[in-house]
Structure 1
Amino acid sequence: MPEEERAKYRLALAFSGEASAGAVRLIMAGSGGSAHRLSHPLQRIQRDVDVLLNHPTLAMDPILVQAGRGLLGLGVTIPAF
């Protein structure tokens, strides 16, 4: 896969994670305090989304760096010094 295409793919993946987290936050905000109880299914969904966003493939900061490098033609991989 060309570097530019790979960078765009990574950006789309990261933004989809952020969009899903925003949707869950919006739903939780409109659900009232009881949605934060451990027995409520929305609380579990919120925790699952939060954990997913910590995964390297969805963590926004590293993806922005890698995508920027790829779009500038510097290579997606950050060189080790």
Structure 2
Amino acid sequence: FSKKKDSIDPYIYTPFGTGPRNCIGMRFALMNMKLALIRVLQNFSFKPCKETQIPLKLDTQGLLQPEKPIVLKVDSRDGTLSGE
């Protein structure tokens, strides 16, 4: 909101760094989240329950979200919970 915002150097405050040598912790956390998502999708299948409104009607006020919650049933793909 500053009148001088065009003259401010964007690299003055960069707590995680910029470019290819930025914070290694940020990249590590992102990689861990991706691996966790892959493991969940490999070991479980997700299907809509009877409570889920089909076809989905969206509420257009503010953020785009469904009028009623999306309820999913989670089933193990191999019949076990350990994923062995």
Give me the TM-score of the superposition, normalised by structure 1. Answer: 0.30
Higher share of residues assigned strand = 2
Report which structure shows greater RCO (CA 8 Å, sep ≥6): 1
Give me the TM-score of the superposition, normalised by structure 2. Answer: 0.29
